Amino acid sequence: MQENSKVHFIPPIPKREKRVGIYCRVSTNSMEQLQSLTAQVSHLTRLTVSMPQWLLLDVYMDVATSKTGASRKEFNRMLEDCRSNKLEIVLTKSISRRKMNHEVKI
């Protein structure tokens, strides 16, 4: 087979991975709630792994009630990672899991 010198192979540009974080929260540390937390993390981790262009960077988990005024350290850490462009996608079980009285600006 004769090589054609007029044809130049141009390799494809690899797609950049999307940086993903997972946020999970339960309201108490009861056995039932902790099992729910485990199920949330497991499901969202499997979802992330199933997406070839997604790279899981971190999992953020809070166990606290909204009535106690808990600081939700992991949620705040996740927001900071979003603001500093460490994350492009945040997965959570349900947006209603994050009840807020104010708008979060990133």
- The mean per-residue pLDDT over the stretch 73-101 comes to 85
Query: Is 68 a member of any domain?
Result: yes
Query: Is 99 a member of any domain?
Result: no
Quote the pTM value.
0.74
Categorize the per-residue pLDDT at 4 as very low, low, confident or very high, splitting at 50, 70 and 90: low
Beta partners for 62? 25
Query: Is 6 a member of any domain?
Result: no
Domain that holds residue 85: 18-94
Neighbouring C-alpha atoms within 13 Å toward the C-beta of 6: 0
Query: Is 49 a member of any domain?
Result: yes
- The mean per-residue pLDDT over the stretch 79-86 comes to 97
Residue 101 reports pLDDT greater than 60: no
Query: Is 4 a member of any domain?
Result: no
Query: Is 59 a member of any domain?
Result: yes
- The mean per-residue pLDDT over the stretch 8-12 comes to 85
pLDDT of residue 103: 46
pLDDT tens for 23-77 read 999 988 899 999 999 999 999 999 999 999 999 999 999 998 666 556 789 999 9
Query: Is 106 a member of any domain?
Result: no
* Count of the separate structural domains present in the chain: 1
Torsion of CA 53, 59, 64, 68, to 10 degrees: -80
For the domain that residue 78 is a member of, what is the CATH number? 3.40.50.1390
